[in-house]
Structure 1
Amino acid sequence: MEEAAAATMVFVYGTLKRGFPNHPLLAASGSPFAGAASTAAPASLVVGPYSVPFLLPCRRPRSSSSAGHLISGELYAVSPRALVDLDALEGIHLGVYERRRVTVIVEGEEVEVEAEAYLAHKSYAEALWLHCGGEAAEIGEYTMDHAARYVPPSRRSPGASGLMHAIHVFLFGTSPSP
């Protein structure tokens, strides 16, 4: 029971959802499903390199008329140990994602819950949004069609920073300088 008391609510919106490629990590950690949920406020979600989904923390450029979408996902109660594993998967230490607080609404209960979510790092989020196509590329849900094109870390080009390297190449066309 002690671990349940220390659990962190985590909102997942992409490859960690049930039936998606990285869900086994959550399942193996014993993180209980707390319900389907969506963001309480509109947000931007795009699909980047390797068909990886990115929830974006930045506001859209002034030229954008998009208000974003309510992003669909799932809510889990995650133990401290499982949170460390999720942080590693999401590349927190490499600056790929940032774990930030979001407000979500649990479907069926219509109750607001404060949760952690993995958002694209603010250092490249706006450039990613623009490169993906801006508001025309925004989606409200990462689907099985997106996941069918997902490239797991084990099948990506080798390199010290994997996804971060791919993001840099995707955005700037070159490898980052050492």
Structure 2
Amino acid sequence: MVAEERKESTTTTLIFTYGTLKRGFSNHTLMQDLMRTGDASFVATCQTAEKYPLVCGPYRVPFLLNMSGSGHRVKGEVYAVSLSGLARLDELEGTSRGHYERLPITLELDNGDGDGSCSEGLKCAEAYYAHNSYAMELWKKDGKKGLKAYTEKEVKGYVKRKDRPQNLTFLDHIQLFVNSPSSH
């Protein structure tokens, strides 16, 4: 029985981070907290095995869109996260509120030589995708271009949740963004 409990407590899920949870970005403090408590560990830098759209929405918030075959192979980081750590990430990403959906993704791990090839081959992980209720609208708003990576360039203009207008929900902000006149 003790062995089963130990196995349950060490169960981890591989999570692909492509935006503000990456090292050097504003929400990485949550990942650092999870690593301090043993609820997450860095695995590798990686990129998606297939092309996906990565776009910036309202307040320069990054969104990965679950539309494989469009966009680019997206660069990011993968972490092994415990069940309790996953609950904290789900809360941040608003999975119960229709903000993001945590779904499978296939990744290629970077072997460190910079050529993008894999030392360990393909890895199945999970990623937080924009909820499908508004993903296509974000893709159209982006002009169907997408990004290869969320970098310091894209983060310029990012507004932290606490600094956004509090009288609207996140979904309200998304609807206002997609319905605003295009800058393309």
Q: Common fold, TM-score beyond 0.5?
A: yes
- The alignment yields a C-alpha RMSD, in angstroms, of 1.7
Q: Give distance in 2, aligned partners of 1:4 and 1:105.
A: 27
Aligned to 1:53: 62
How many residue pairs match? The answer is 164
Contact 2:137 2:178 in 1 (8 A): yes
Corresponding residue to 2:154 among 142, 146, 164: 146
Matched to 2:124, the amino acid is E
Contact 2:50 2:68 in 1 (8 A): no
Corresponding residue to 2:172 among 165, 174, 177: 165
Between structure 1 and structure 2, the one with the greater Rg is 2
- When the two structures are superposed, what TM-score results if normalisation uses the length of structure 1? 0.86
C-alpha deviations, 1:38-93, integer Å up to 9, x for none?
A: 10011111111110111111368xxxxxx421100000001111111111111111
C-alpha deviations, 1:106-128, integer Å up to 9, x for none?
A: 10025211111000111111111
* Aligned structure 1 segments of 4 or more residues deviating by more than 6 angstroms: none
Aligned to 1:82: 85
Distance 1:10 1:147, change over 3 A: same
Aligned to 1:12: 17
Q: CA deviation at 1:5?
A: 3.1
- When the two structures are superposed, what TM-score results if normalisation uses the length of structure 2? 0.83
| Unaligned residue ranges in structure 1 (runs of 5+) | 61-66, 174-178
Share of identical aligned residues, percent? 40
Contact 2:99 2:171 in 1 (8 A): yes
Contact 1:99 1:118 in 2 (8 A): yes
Q: Give distance in 2, aligned partners of 1:172 and 1:7.
A: 39
Q: CA deviation at 1:150?
A: 1.2
Contact 1:159 1:165 in 2 (8 A): no
C-alpha deviations, 1:127-163, integer Å up to 9, x for none?
A: 111012222xx110000122232111111110363x2
Matched to 2:109, the amino acid is V
Aligned to 2:125: 115
Distance 1:160 1:88, change over 3 A: farther
Higher relative contact order (CA 8 A, sep 6+): 1
Q: Give distance in 2, aligned partners of 1:32 and 1:131.
A: 35
Distance 1:15 1:24, change over 3 A: same
Secondary structure, in 3 states, of the residue corresponding to 1:57?
coil
Q: CA deviation at 1:171?
A: 1.6
